[in-house]
């Protein structure tokens, strides 16, 4: 038989022969591994933790181990232990995991959240030490040096001052509103005076220009030097006339005041003389 099989293999192509040997080798290896696995399973004893709950001997394990195993099987959330504890309202960590867990602030927070029994924190951490109490009292003494009565009095004084300031401002506004009509009249009068002075200045300038033209007897360009010189001369003469008129008006007013004072003095002198008679 062997020569016939070898003859058949020789007649096959080389690629088919290679595949045949690889298939035979893989089958042999697989059968060997299965046999070894079966022998290991026969030799090993079943472990209680790896078996389902229904196949575990309850008498062989304690109640605490059983409860722990059942709790482990129940936990399907895949949360971290500390997160699961927080979800169930339990202290996240049994032992301190960081320096933050040893701080007073963290302990106070755990005490307020989980209580004395749940946090396992000494409640005395919530009260300040002598040093902290002294520092706080010193800070309050410097930051708030006044008593409550003093602050209330200062607040009342400031309120009265603000009220008085508001009332004074309102009175000032009322007085100014009363004078508003007079101020409007005065403003209109000043505007009218300015406009009148501007018109008078323009009329005076036009009059001087016309006098210069009559002086030359013919039409002259206002930009001409002769015209400008004559216009400046006329303006000086006109200013002298205006100044002289103002002076005379002032003298007349002074004389009128003197006459009034003289009449008043004469009247005052006549009254005592009549009383003596």
Question: CA 11: distance to chain centroid?
Answer: 94
Structure tokens at 63: 């109640």
Which domain covers residue 92, as residue numbers? 63-143
For residues 138 and 80, membership in a common domain is answered with: yes
| pLDDT tens-digit series, residues 28-60 | 777 677 777 677 766 655 444 444 544 455 556
Considering the domain boundaries, does residue 251 fall inside one?
A: no
For residues 135 and 160, membership in a common domain is answered with: no
Among the candidates 184, 200, 216, a domain finishes at 200
Report the pLDDT value the prediction gives residue 250, as an integer from 0 to 100: 84
Considering the domain boundaries, does residue 206 fall inside one?
A: no
For residues 137 and 196, membership in a common domain is answered with: no
Report the pLDDT value the prediction gives residue 9, as an integer from 0 to 100: 47
For residues 194 and 181, membership in a common domain is answered with: yes
pTM value is 0.34
For residues 68 and 139, membership in a common domain is answered with: yes
For residues 135 and 76, membership in a common domain is answered with: yes
Among the candidates 97, 112, 143, a domain finishes at 143
For residues 135 and 67, membership in a common domain is answered with: yes
Considering the domain boundaries, does residue 237 fall inside one?
A: no
Q: What is the 3-state secondary structure (H, E, C) of 108-174?
A: HHHHHHHHHHHHCCCHHHHCCCHHHHHHHHHHHHHHCCCCHHHHHHHHHHHHHHHHHHHHHHHHHHH
Considering the domain boundaries, does residue 131 fall inside one?
A: yes
Query: How many structural domains is the chain composed of?
Result: 2
Considering the domain boundaries, does residue 165 fall inside one?
A: yes
* CA separation for the pair 73, 141 (Å, rounded): 61
Low-confidence ranges of the chain (pLDDT < 50): 1-9, 46-51, 53-55
For residues 128 and 106, membership in a common domain is answered with: yes
For residues 70 and 133, membership in a common domain is answered with: yes
Considering the domain boundaries, does residue 266 fall inside one?
A: no
Among the candidates 156, 173, 200, a domain finishes at 200
Cβ(163)–Cβ(157) under 8 Å?
Answer: no
Considering the domain boundaries, does residue 96 fall inside one?
A: yes
For residues 116 and 152, membership in a common domain is answered with: no
For residues 135 and 164, membership in a common domain is answered with: no
Considering the domain boundaries, does residue 171 fall inside one?
A: yes
Helix residue ranges, H only, 179-224: 180-216
* CA separation for the pair 114, 107 (Å, rounded): 10
For residues 166 and 196, membership in a common domain is answered with: yes
């Amino acid at each position: 038989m062997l020569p016939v099989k070898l003859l058949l293999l020789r007649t096959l192509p080389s690629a088919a022969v290679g595949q045949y040997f690889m298939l035979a080798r893989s089958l042999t290896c697989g059968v060997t591994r299965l046999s070894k696995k079966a022998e290991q399973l026969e030799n090993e004893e079943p472990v209680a933790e790896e078996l389902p709950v229904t196949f575990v001997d309850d008498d062989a394990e304690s109640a605490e181990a059983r409860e722990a195993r059942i709790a482990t099987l129940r936990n399907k959330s895949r949360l971290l232990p500390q997160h699961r504890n927080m979800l169930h309202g339990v202290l996240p960590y049994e032992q301190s995991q960081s320096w933050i867990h040893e701080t007073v602030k963290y302990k106070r927070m755990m005490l307020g959240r989980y209580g004395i029994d749940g946090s396992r924190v000494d409640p005395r951490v919530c009260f300040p030490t002598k040093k902290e109490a002294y520092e706080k009292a010193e800070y309050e003494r410097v930051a708030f040096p006044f008593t409550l009565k003093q602050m209330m009095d200062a607040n009342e004084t400031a309120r009265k001052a603000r009220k008085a300031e508001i009332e004074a401002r309102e009175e000032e506004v009322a007085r100014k509103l009363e004078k508003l009509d007079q101020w409007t009249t005065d403003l209109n009068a000043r505007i009218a005076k300015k406009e009148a002075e501007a018109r008078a200045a323009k009329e005076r300038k036009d009059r001087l220009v016309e006098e210069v033209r009559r002086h030359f007897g013919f039409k002259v360009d206002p930009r001409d030097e002769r015209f400008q010189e004559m216009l400046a001369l006329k303006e000086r003469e006109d200013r002298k006339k205006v100044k002289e008129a103002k002076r005379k008006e002032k003298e007349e007013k002074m004389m009128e005041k003197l006459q009034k004072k003289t009449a008043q003095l004469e009247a005052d002198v006549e009254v005592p003389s009549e009383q003596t008679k």
